[in-house]
Every structure is written in C-alpha cells, then in structure tokens.
A = this chain, B = another copy of it.
Amino acid sequence: MSTKVATTLNGVDLPRLTSTVEAVKGSPELGSFKFRISNRWVGGGENRSEVQPFTHAGKVIPHKTGFTLSADEPEVLLGADSGANPVEHLLHALASCVTTSMVYHAAARGMAIDQVESTLEGNLDLRGFLGLAPEIRNGYQGIRVTLRIKASLTDEQLQELSSLGPRFSPVYDSLVRGVPVEVVTERLT
C-alpha cells in the first residue's frame, strides 16, 4: 500500500515554497533579484522589448526561452494598433501580479482556489500627456481592479483571500506607493 501526498496547491509546489521561504529566511541575500529588459524603437508609437536574464543573489539566470513584448498605439493615438499600448501593458502587469501574489500566498495558507478572473480599467486624461493643462497628471488618475474568484470558502475567507494580492503584490506596491526611477542618457553612434 502506498499513500499519495498532495504536494501542490493552486498549482504551487508546496515543499519548494516552504524551502524557498526557509532559504531566504536563513540567507537574506537569496531575496535579492534584479530584473531586466531591453527595448528597441521600431518607428512612431511602435517598439519592442526583449526580456533579459535576471540576477538572483548575484547569479545571472537566463529564461528558458526568449520573450518579446510588443507595444504600439491605437489609430486614435496615431499608431498602427499592432500591439497593446504602454498603459495597457501596465494594467496587465498589475493584473498578473495581484493574481499570482494571491495564488502563492493562498497556497502557503492552505486555501484552495478553483478559478480567478479579473478586469482592470484605468482612467487617463490625455491633456496631461499633451501638456495642455498643468493641473492634470500625465499618468492614470485611478485604476479599478475587479477580482472574481471561485473557491469553496466562506464570505469572510473570500475577503481574506482577496486581500492577499494587494497585501503582497510587488507591482501593486510599486504602483500605489511609487518607485524612484533614474534615467541616464547615452549617445548611440
């Protein structure tokens, strides 16, 4: 007779999750990550990024395969509409991070999730970007995330579950609290 022990929850490998947490607890330098992309302008509103190897605890780790991310603007914003635009990519970054953060932290708490969907919408006033009104910001004025979750949980547990994304998500934290961005320019010859 053999017994089969469930080792994944929500698609997350629980023994590895536990060992990762313990490893970072014991060696804080294992928490250190540097993520990188490179971007190349194609023309007009079109450009493309290639995701680069990242650094973990001083070690450079390549991704298993290359990832190319394309951006363009819709016609009303003078582009060819060949890809999502930068502010739409920003919404994707937020959606994906809130979802993954919730899923991982739910796994760590033994909460099973059946399904997660979300819709995000962000309001922008182009007068900011165009420099037409100094009191109007260039960026999003606000973003609304609607999370829809299927799970065998009480209403109270569902609220706890849904709070995990905003509580732990790196992109949510970056966006809500802001991030220092340094820009350096070099001449291409």
Contact = CB atoms under 8 A, between A and B. Distances in A.
A119 B113 CA distance: 37
A103 B97 CA distance: 29
Given A51-B84, A84-B69, A132-B21, A139 B173 contact: yes
A36 B147 contact: no
A179 B140 contact: yes
Q: How many subunits of this chain does the assembly comprise?
A: 2
A75 to B, nearest CB: 8
| Chain A interface, >50% SS class | mixed
Interface residues of A, number: 132
Contact of A35 (B37, B88, B162): B88
Contacts of A132: 21, 24-25, 31
A138 B39 CA distance: 25
3 A-B pairs with least C-beta separation: A11-B44, A139-B174, A86-B97
